[in-house]
Structure 1
Amino acid sequence: MEVFLCPACRLVLWDPVTVSCGHSFCRRCLGEALPAKCRLCGEKLALLGSRTVAGNVLLCNLLEKCLPKETKLARLKIDVGDLLRERDYRGALKTLQKGVDLAPDDVTLRLCRSEVYVALQRYPEALEDLEVLCRQEPGECEGFFRKGKMLLEMGKQSEALQQFQHCLTLNSSFCAAQYEAERILTNDASPLPGTVVELKSDLSQNLKGSNSGKEQALLVSLEEKPLQDVRKKREFCLGEIGSEYNQAALSMPEWLRKKSNLDVSVEKEGDLEEGTSADARGQKSTQDYQPDFESLLSTSDLECSLCIRMFFEPVTTPCGHTFCKECVERCLDHRPNCPLCKQSLREYLRAGKYNTTVLLEELMKAVFPSQLAERKLIHQTEMAELSNLTKSIPIFVCTMSFPGIECPLHVFEPRYRLMMRRCQETGTKMFGMCMYENGKSFADYGCMLEIQKIVFLPDGRSLVDTIGKRRFRVLRRGHRDGYNTADIEYLEDEKVEGEQLSELQYLHDYTYQLAQRFYEHGDTTFRQLLMHHGSLPEKEEDIQASPDGPVWCWWLISVLPLDLTRKLTLFSDVSLKSRLTQLKHILNVILESRDYNS
């Protein structure tokens, strides 16, 4: 049962609300306004688009299924007592109405609701509850007495007199009813209908013609003593309108207490005094019931409505609905609305922080540990598959990218938003970039990109800073969840030694000198291009250290005014000598053209 206790009041959760940090509390424990920080973890709280806190729909359903009526009533009655102590009669009425719906025959709830109706000056509704009570207990006079008092409040003296007469018929020594009847009989200023005049006469004769000297003495006493003294002599205490529920319950006669489903609601006066711990009251309401969750719940009760599998990292939206974290993220990629109620979740999306609903995680661990372990294993298997950097790697089809060169991206399509998240979740932070090629979904060659930084925008888009890592060749194409995938093999430049390495080094140094001239003497258009590509990288000591060759070569290819087909040819070449030779030729042509034009 501990799992269903509110961490604030330590009572069974009542109208549970899950706040933005993932902890769940009773709605009343949160108060009318959402607290600035969570009482449990201290994290800053926010409504994230909702005007008021919404109840957690799933938790409400689980509580309804797992808790017996007795436990629900016990929690409800404690809540009513707290509301009445705060004189929140409207809140108490709302809670009592739930209780009466749950247990229509519970006389303590009916009596308390009638008192609350009176406090709100809703006398007809209060009278209805008392009439139900009189029908349930036709042989007990207390209900009829309350009904008579209510009729007096409504100004219906004749009908009230009938109720007091009925009380005396049931119990001729009921002093409170005798007193009220005598007040009406001796109030000649109040006009009564003819039929009631006869009733008045009959009742007066009954009272005055009593053979009991004790009753006569009582009548004299009632006539002489003020109302305050008479109330002290009553066997049945009405209680002041709007009095505390538990205190009112104490004043109820034994026959009413026995009718109550739970004695928990009738606490001793001392229990309500300052110093009584909420833990003690919470324990009272739950100690007699330890639910067998395994028999009450099935895994279907803890299934995500989107993936139809047991929750994995369940999160609760501001509208109160619960989904797997990954499922709700994928939904928000397409539309910023709750998949169930369609409420806007723009603020939730803008926050970009989806905290796990702690109570559900604890419940699944406690009740379905093996199923949860299996669900986690499935997720881990999926992550392992997504982490493979040669099989079914995600492919971003956009433009050419190069090893060692930065490639900033603006991600807005839902499929690529999903791709970026998965790259982050797996920990690889890697995906492939290929340019589009006619007749194919993407080109046969591409470059692996590593995510350096992601900035999420309020509408779900993101700015992603990446850098090129390794070249690859596509072996097989595929699809996953809307985006392209590929099986790949990585490219690696051919290594040379000895005299060939010396010749390669000379060619490298000469071509780099040409690249420096090209970089230093570019026109205005070229200078604008350099704002996006940066400066010419420095030479590297070991030109064969990287499997893709020197980075400056790829920087040069990225800025040269060549068509993409020519660039792709250079990109796929695994001979550094061949690439440098082609670059030397291209640079000579460009530099000669500049010299000629100048």
Structure 2
Amino acid sequence: MSRDPPNPSSPPRGGSPARQPLGPLDTLRCPSCLLLLWEPVTVSCGHSFCKPCLGGAVPSRCPLCQERLKLLGVEAARCNVVLCGLLEKCVERESRLAWLVTRVRDRLGRGDAREALRMAQKGVELAPDSSSLRLCRAEAFAALGQHPQALEDLDAVCRAEPGQHEGFFRKGKVLLEMGQRAEALLAWEHCLTLSPHFHPARREMEKILMQKDAPQPRTAAARQGDAHRGSTGPQADGGSPALPSSSAQAQDQEGEPVDGRGDAGSEHGQGTATLSEPGRRQEPETSAERQDQWLVDNEEETAAAKCTQLCLGELLSISDLECSLCIRMFFEPVTTPCGHTFCKECLERCLDHRPNCPLCKQSLREYLKAGSYSPTVLLQDIMLATFPAQLAERRELHRAEMAELSNLTKNIPIFVCTMSFPGIACPLHVFEPRYRLMIRRCQETGTRRFGMCIYENGKSFADYGCMLEIRQIELLPDGRSLVDTIGRRRFRVLSRGHRDGYNTADIEYLEDKKVAGEELQELQCLHESTYRLAQRFCEHGDLASRHIFMQHGPLPEKEEDIQASADGPTWCWWLISILPLDPSYQLNLFSTTSLRARLTQLQRILAALLQQPPARHPLPERSPRGRV
């Protein structure tokens, strides 16, 4: 079979592999080596690479986005299970093996024989009958100086493909490295029998025959006997082929195309051979040798590029891109350090209950501690390319869910815990899975608000509560969080419900009744007198009360317009929050929509407290972190 000579501008061996056309499968390329992904690993930033491209350890930064990378609880990078499944389904077995051969040769060309051997061994395990992979493994063994293992693989190739000359040529190279020159000559003689115009075998034989005490081809054959000839196949004229004369060889080089596969697999780099022991001086390659190597490379890469040209949509189904937790198409797919992929929200909800992978139970404590779940970019690209309509529906469904969660009057989330008041800080320690989910949703929707109510017998929570706004969240390594909130508006519960384990409610907001004229003047006088009593109370307090003031801050300044806020002056709520009142009495003050009634009640309470010695009525110490 005749082939065109190589293009002089072709890249040399040992460099980066040429980008081969994959057509619709171009999405499945590794962004580092530009070849079809092999053992795909998704790093912490969300990008996916071939495992060999990342090297023995995950690099400190992503080769694409330069983000810092971490293994997060695993000793070594794990393959992405979903991507491995997609590759197996999209790429035929022969194409995958051809790409693997190309990868192994690329590793050998870079001098990474150990990684090449690891890849070749895995390939042979997957396809024990693949002669190409056995040839690659033999070459890796030889590069590492493990010649008996290399010879074993080459013998298997020669038995499996007795009509192919490449196995015999490489067998001769290994035998020569082992010092068995006569046996090497026999292997090359048989190689030339199968392919008379295969120049690398002629050159190797010439090198040996020009040495002193070199065994002659026919003499070597005679020493081996008929048994060896029987194992290697019939030879021309019943013996070894004679080496061609220099004129005939020149004629062959000028007029005959190179036939068969060359020794490219056994020689890498520019002008050096790799089937030699470390430290041994290498002989430079001739232009003919480089031509032979290029032809082999071109043949292998062309075979590797013959992937199916069907579009991914015809190769994949929705079930290939489903989350194993919600059984729906992935939405914001994230890949754990153990290699499993889930929807971001599904994984977060699982980690709320237990810091382990839902499938393999691998500990994800470090992953949870990092608190950063980057979507798997390649899976998002595949879904967009294959099922754009279904992905749009999935996004619309998520958008509708977020819109429903963003409604601040219908089905608002309710945190059943403690009394909270408008304008007053309410620190929370959140650890229950249902409330962790609730707080996360408040963040995702952008409202950053939820309702706070106290427990009430027979109703699950009271009829009145306060809307809290999240100001800051401090995430703890185990998934708990310290949430700094502040009260905004009061509300009344109209109906109760549940959502994913936490309480919800339909509400209406409360607003103090407005007054004018003489009523407003009387209200202002009442406001002034009550505020003065509050100032006296703060100055009159003992050590315990002063400690509370240090935690809650000083008494807020009084507002000029006492009806500016729908909930009345903030200092009233500050005072109610620190007074030693029963929660039911606090709730009574909280629910009234009359500022006059609220001020009157506060005035009576303050007057009673100021008439008694401070020591007899110490205020209970309340920690800002005590509301759990």
Deviation at 1:502, TM superposition (A): 1.2
Checking the alignment, whether the CA contact within 8 Å between 1:6 and 1:12 is kept in structure 2 is: yes
Secondary structure at the residue paired with 2:537? helix
**Which residue in the other structure is 2:520 paired with?**
501
Checking the alignment, whether the CA contact within 8 Å between 2:424 and 2:487 is kept in structure 1 is: yes
Residue 167 and residue 502 in structure 1: after superposition, are their counterparts in 2 closer, same or farther (change >3 A)?
A: closer
Secondary structure at the residue paired with 1:408? strand
- Alignment partner of 1:312 is 2:336: no
Residue 268 and residue 488 in structure 1: after superposition, are their counterparts in 2 closer, same or farther (change >3 A)?
A: farther
Q: How many angstroms apart in 2 are the aligned matches of 1:201 and 1:90?
A: 33
- Alignment partner of 1:355 is 2:355: no
Checking the alignment, whether the CA contact within 8 Å between 2:181 and 2:208 is kept in structure 1 is: no
Unmatched runs of 5 consecutive residues or more in structure 2: 1-24, 231-236, 246-257, 276-289, 618-628
Q: How does 1:211-230 map to 2 (within 5 A)?
A: 215=242
Residue 444 and residue 289 in structure 1: after superposition, are their counterparts in 2 closer, same or farther (change >3 A)?
A: same
Residue 362 and residue 271 in structure 1: after superposition, are their counterparts in 2 closer, same or farther (change >3 A)?
A: farther
Residue 161 and residue 8 in structure 1: after superposition, are their counterparts in 2 closer, same or farther (change >3 A)?
A: closer
**Which residue in the other structure is 1:578 paired with?**
597
Q: How many angstroms apart in 2 are the aligned matches of 1:596 and 1:200?
A: 113
- Alignment partner of 1:6 is 2:30: yes
Secondary structure at the residue paired with 1:489? strand
Deviation at 1:283, TM superposition (A): 9.9
Unmatched runs of 5 consecutive residues or more in structure 1: 204-209, 219-233, 252-265
Secondary structure at the residue paired with 1:311? coil
Structure-2-length-normalised TM-score:
0.77
Paired AA for residue 566 in structure 2? P
**Which residue in the other structure is 1:38 paired with?**
62
**Which residue in the other structure is 1:28 paired with?**
52
User: Identity over the aligned pairs, expressed in percent?
Assistant: 60
**Which residue in the other structure is 2:621 paired with?**
none
Higher mean alpha-carbon deviation, 107-116 vs 430-439, is at 107-116
Deviation at 1:161, TM superposition (A): 10
Counterpart of 1:62 (choices 75, 86, 99) is 86
Residue 30 and residue 450 in structure 1: after superposition, are their counterparts in 2 closer, same or farther (change >3 A)?
A: same
Paired AA for residue 43 in structure 2? V
- Alignment partner of 1:564 is 2:588: no
Q: How many angstroms apart in 2 are the aligned matches of 1:498 and 1:362?
A: 67
**Which residue in the other structure is 1:539 paired with?**
558
Residue 135 and residue 399 in structure 1: after superposition, are their counterparts in 2 closer, same or farther (change >3 A)?
A: same
Q: How many angstroms apart in 2 are the aligned matches of 1:478 and 1:519?
A: 41
Higher mean alpha-carbon deviation, 234-243 vs 586-595, is at 234-243
Deviation at 1:5, TM superposition (A): 1.8
Q: How many angstroms apart in 2 are the aligned matches of 1:7 and 1:213?
A: 50
Q: How many angstroms apart in 2 are the aligned matches of 1:422 and 1:141?
A: 67
Paired AA for residue 45 in structure 2? C
Secondary structure at the residue paired with 2:46? coil
Secondary structure at the residue paired with 1:470? strand
Structure-1-length-normalised TM-score:
0.80
Checking the alignment, whether the CA contact within 8 Å between 2:165 and 2:260 is kept in structure 1 is: no
Checking the alignment, whether the CA contact within 8 Å between 1:168 and 1:178 is kept in structure 2 is: no
Can you list the C-alpha shifts for 1:390-438, whole angstroms capped at 9, x where unaligned? 1111111110000110101111111111111100000000001111122
Q: How does 1:516-527 map to 2 (within 5 A)?
A: 516-527=535-546
Paired positions, count: 551
Paired AA for residue 568 in structure 2? G
Paired AA for residue 14 in structure 1? W
Deviation at 1:532, TM superposition (A): 2.5
**Which residue in the other structure is 2:567 paired with?**
548
Deviation at 1:284, TM superposition (A): 9.2
Q: How does 1:37-186 map to 2 (within 5 A)?
A: 37-101=61-125, 104-123=128-147, 125-139=149-163, 143=167
Checking the alignment, whether the CA contact within 8 Å between 2:157 and 2:167 is kept in structure 1 is: yes
Residue 16 and residue 590 in structure 1: after superposition, are their counterparts in 2 closer, same or farther (change >3 A)?
A: same
- Alignment partner of 1:332 is 2:356: no
Q: How does 1:483-502 map to 2 (within 5 A)?
A: 483-502=502-521
Can you list the C-alpha shifts for 1:65-116, whole angstroms capped at 9, x where unaligned? 1123344234212211221123322321222234445555543333232233
Q: How many angstroms apart in 2 are the aligned matches of 1:20 and 1:314?
A: 13
Counterpart of 2:606 (choices 571, 579, 587) is 587
Q: How many angstroms apart in 2 are the aligned matches of 1:186 and 1:140?
A: 21
Paired AA for residue 103 in structure 2? D
Q: How many angstroms apart in 1 are the aligned matches of 2:244 and 2:561?
A: 121
Checking the alignment, whether the CA contact within 8 Å between 1:80 and 1:245 is kept in structure 2 is: no
- Alignment partner of 1:369 is 2:369: no
Residue 236 and residue 245 in structure 1: after superposition, are their counterparts in 2 closer, same or farther (change >3 A)?
A: farther
Q: How many angstroms apart in 1 are the aligned matches of 2:214 and 2:561?
A: 113
Q: How many angstroms apart in 2 are the aligned matches of 1:584 and 1:325?
A: 53
